[in-house]
Structure 1
Amino acid sequence: MVEEQHLDAIFQALSDPSRRRMLAALSAGEASVSSLAAPLDMSLAGASKHVQVLERAGLVSRRKVGRQQILALEAKRLREARDWLERYARFWADALDALETALEEETKR
């Protein structure tokens, strides 16, 4: 149940394009909330709400430096989502391999 709650929070956080862009920016290194908000053309308050969703999902960590909030990507949570999705990727790969084999056999006939 705990794993499902983590996955729910991760996928909910990833469902928004602004949050995905924030994560992409953080993949290059730490950044302040204001620097993440600037290219998205959103207010600091709006960016902070998105950051809170990312924090609850465990996708970012925050530390305070003076008056600035500095964020860092927490890639471990993204790996958890990737691992979950990978189970289904293997399923589809196996299904497509079986289809390919069946088509090859049909073509030989």
Structure 2
Amino acid sequence: MPSEAAVFAALGDETRLALVEQLRTGPASIVSLTGEADMTRQAVTKHLHVLEKAGLVTCTRLGRTTVWQLERLRFDDARHYLDIISRQWDGALERLRVHVEN
């Protein structure tokens, strides 16, 4: 499984975030994904492959068409990781508050 760093690096690009947003409503072909973007199919495909390498999307061939969809469990893993980080920061900030107030 790709690291969390790979997931967040893949999501750190506006184009890839826009593709994730499009796929949020369900699977889509490269043709429909390209129709929303102001770039070539080849460029959109490169972004999709970055998301795929991070484990965020999968693709399926249906005849001559490639359909892309979100890998929702990977997003759940990322959310869980962020929750852990958030709790650690909350704890550190609370310890700092107590230290400063004493």
Question: Identity of paired residues, percent?
Answer: 36
Q: Which amino acid aligns with 2:72?
A: A
- Aligned pairs for 1:1-109 within 5 A: 5-95=2-92, 99=97
Identify the range of structure 1 (86-95 vs 23-32) with the bigger mean alpha-carbon deviation: 86-95
By how many angstroms is 1:91 displaced? 2.6
| Aligned-partner Cα distance in 1 for 2:37–2:86 | 32
Structure 2: gaps (5+ residues):
none
Structure 2 residue identity aligned to 1:41:
D
Give deviations 1:60-102, integer Å, cap 9, x for gaps.
1111112111011101111111111111211333455564x89
Higher Rg of the two aligned structures = 1
Shift of 1:58: 1.0
Q: Which amino acid aligns with 1:46?
A: A
- Alignment: residue pair count: 101
Structure 1: tracts of 5 or more residues without a match: none
Q: Report the Cα distance in structure 1 between the residues aligned to 2:10 and 2:34, rounded to whole angstroms.
A: 16
SS in 2 for 1:20: helix
**1:41 partner SS:** coil
In the superposition, the TM-score normalised over structure 1's length comes to 0.78
Equivalent position SS for 1:29: coil
Q: TM-score, normalised by structure 2?
A: 0.83
